[in-house]
Amino acid sequence: MTVPAHGGHLVNRELSEADRKRREAELAHLPKLRPSIDDLYDVQQIAIGGYSPLEGFMDRATFEGVLTKTRLPNGLPWSMPILLTPPGEENAKVIAGLQPGDDAAILDDQDRLIAVLHLSEKFAPDRTAWAQSTYATTEPAHPNVADVLASGDVALAGSIDLVRRLELPTGSDEMTPTETRALFVEKGWRRVAAYQCRNPPHTAHEYLQRLTLERQDVDALLIHPVVGRLKKGDYRPDIILAAYRALVQNYNVPSRVHLAAFSITMRYAGPRAALFLAIVRKNYGCSSYIVGRDQAGVGKYYDPYACHRIFEEFPVGIDALCYDEAWLCRKCGVMATMKTCPHPASDRVDTSQTRIRKALSDGQPLPAEILRPEVAEILRRPNVVQN
């Protein structure tokens, strides 16, 4: 039994080699758009089925329905606006000349042809509503709100056809939903839990993975770190992947865990992001999805457990495995949560990224109960994006 894609059909909008060759001359003469890398990641996910049932970028009615109802026009839950808003004057000139029914070429920053957009509508999205409904704030201090404010004035709706996949630094670590689904069949995994992450693993992360692997209704774990666009100070994708590889190779049962890279721009939208990231993992063939405390949160914009409750309001066909905050308790001597540990917060060992980063930058040792030594060794390399 395989997990159906969201909406029942796994989208495939990749042109075949023959189609691409046949249309090459025609494609070369299309008006050219150069969207942001965030939008290019979305182009690729739409085409490979990660965003099923979306076949392209949202029109106004779909966008507004997602903001106000958290649903697509057909009633299916969907929490994240997916808009194509190429920024800048050069793009604006091209967009001004486009009419619904036109095709446009989507290029990457090296001017390689990535996809064709079949334009169905142009509209000016309400940025305030976009930010407020998605991120619960309009403050530019929120990183994704800043992106919304910097996006182009006009959104281009319509289906896309992928001509060529993006050249990503994560290369062969990337997998398409078709590939993960085939892998699960080959391994005999009927029920796979997805683990969403953004940072290298410390022992509190590992604890949730282990609890999940103990479940009777989980055959295996897909560790699926988001390694898309990076900002200064973020861990580099190769570091995140190497750290997880060290954990998997040294501390996991190989027949029960798989690691794959997932390149999209992280949207820190708290509950809406958790629902979106779960739907996407359903499309990758997973039957359950791990949700920790304050998943996809940033700053203090979200109730740390709103990301659990949203799954009750919007059943999306993937089981949310919701976990309370976990910590290492000195008195208990093991990882614990509010459900298992009666001791005060002063007995908890600080396993925060802040502490880990500080210890690494100060050259201080980190105890193995916080960070596996194999992971710590990788994190001691130059590990963050510098600009």
Q: Considering beta carbons, is residue 51 or 327 the nearer one to Zn ion? A: 327
Shortest distance in whole angstroms from residue 337 CB to Zn ion:
10
Contacts of residue 17, defined as CB under 8 A and 6 or more positions apart, other chains included, come to none
Closest residue to Zn ion, judged by C-beta, is 329
Shortest distance in whole angstroms from residue 338 CB to Zn ion:
10
Q: Does 332 bind Zn ion (CB under 5 A)?
A: yes
Single residue of 93, 215, 331, 381 touching Zn ion by CB under 5 A: 331
Q: Does 341 bind Zn ion (CB under 5 A)?
A: yes
Shortest distance in whole angstroms from residue 329 CB to Zn ion:
3
Size of the site for Zn ion (CB under 5 A): 6
Shortest distance in whole angstroms from residue 111 CB to Zn ion:
58
| Region from 106-114, 174-182, 278-286, 331-339 binding Zn ion, contact rule CB under 5 A | 331-339
CB 10 within 8 A of CB 284: no
Shortest distance in whole angstroms from residue 330 CB to Zn ion:
7
Single residue of 21, 22, 112, 343 touching Zn ion by CB under 5 A: 343
The mark string for 251-270 relative to Zn ion (x by CB under 5 A, - otherwise) is --------------------
Single residue of 67, 247, 260, 329 touching Zn ion by CB under 5 A: 329
Shortest distance in whole angstroms from residue 367 CB to Zn ion:
17
Q: Considering beta carbons, is residue 343 or 380 the nearer one to Zn ion? A: 343
| Region from 157-165, 185-193, 269-277, 323-331 binding Zn ion, contact rule CB under 5 A | 323-331
Residues forming the site for Zn ion (CB under 5 A): 329, 331-332, 336, 341, 343
